[in-house]
Amino acid sequence: MIYVFHAALAAMAFLVTLNGFLKGAKKAQIDAILGAMVVGLLVVGFVAFGWMMGAVALILAFVYAGISRPLAAAAAARLLSSASGSPSGRYRGLPDPVLGRISRSLGRQRSPEQALDDLLHGGSSQRIDARSDLLDYCVAKPGILEVMQSFDLDRSDLEDLYFALMAVGAGQWAGGHWVAASALAYPDSLRFVAKKMGRGQAADRDETLRAVYALVMHFERGAPLAES
């Protein structure tokens, strides 16, 4: 019985995590239903197996969700790609722990006033530190340095690209990635951004918006980045 209970709890944790990566008009309702089902399972655990096993189940629910996150992200990418009929590709996977930590700092929810302050004045000291960490992370990667050399970019150019991405809508989560950060943190996506938005490129807003959309689809669904 206990094994069935934990199998059900793990399955529900996976579904909750999966729904977090999905989109749709009914996402909030589905999330509420799944959350209620998880709470119901935990109540059953406390009643059927005692408070100690119930407490263990509560902790394990978070563990199951964490363990299933990479699988849920990949499954969501495949589902979203199939549902939309978008070009197939390979989902990149979640960012590594260092980039993930930086992205969480950069992607914390903020008010419109704070977002404007980020663009005009650089934002809070924590966000400034997070951007500095992002740039340190990028320039420490040989593949990124190679792209930077190809496009004659320096560290300040990367920061300018980050601000440019934020200004046109890349400050959003997609497939577990903070798009404005991850766009600079991988050689292929940085090459794409440099070609579309780097120095000397025409500031065509429609083209820039299409580039941001392509980045979102890439990190969310694995859609290939067309550089032409």
Is residue 77 within 8 Å of residue 220, measured between CB atoms?
yes
Is residue 125 within 8 Å of residue 87, measured between CB atoms?
no
> What pLDDT was estimated at residue 122?
54
Is residue 65 within 8 Å of residue 13, measured between CB atoms?
yes
- Count of C-beta atoms within a 10 Å radius of residue 73: 22
Q: Which residues contact 119 (CB under 8 A, 6 or more apart)?
A: 163, 166, 167
The CA distance from 163 to 119, in Å, is: 7
Q: Is the dihedral of CA 220, 224, 225, 228 positive or negative?
A: negative
Among 3, 9, 1, 4, which residue's Cα sits nearest to residue 42? 9
> What pLDDT was estimated at residue 166?
93
> What pLDDT was estimated at residue 203?
61
> What pLDDT was estimated at residue 215?
96
Is residue 139 within 8 Å of residue 155, measured between CB atoms?
yes
Among 214, 216, 217, which residue's Cα sits nearest to residue 227? 214
> What pLDDT was estimated at residue 228?
52
Angstrom distances, CA of residue 129 to CA of 72, 122, 123: 30, 10, 10
**What is the pTM (predicted TM-score) of this model?**
0.84
> What pLDDT was estimated at residue 63?
95
> What pLDDT was estimated at residue 1?
79
Q: At what angle do helices 125-139 and 155-167 cross, to 10 degrees?
A: 120
**Amino acid letter at 105?**
S
pLDDT in tens, the chain (228 residues): 788 998 999 999 999 999 999 988 888 999 999 999 999 999 988 998 888 988 999 999 999 999 999 999 999 998 888 876 665 678 899 999 999 999 999 998 665 655 556 555 555 678 889 999 999 999 999 999 999 999 999 999 999 999 999 999 999 999 999 999 999 999 999 999 999 887 655 567 788 899 999 999 999 999 988 765
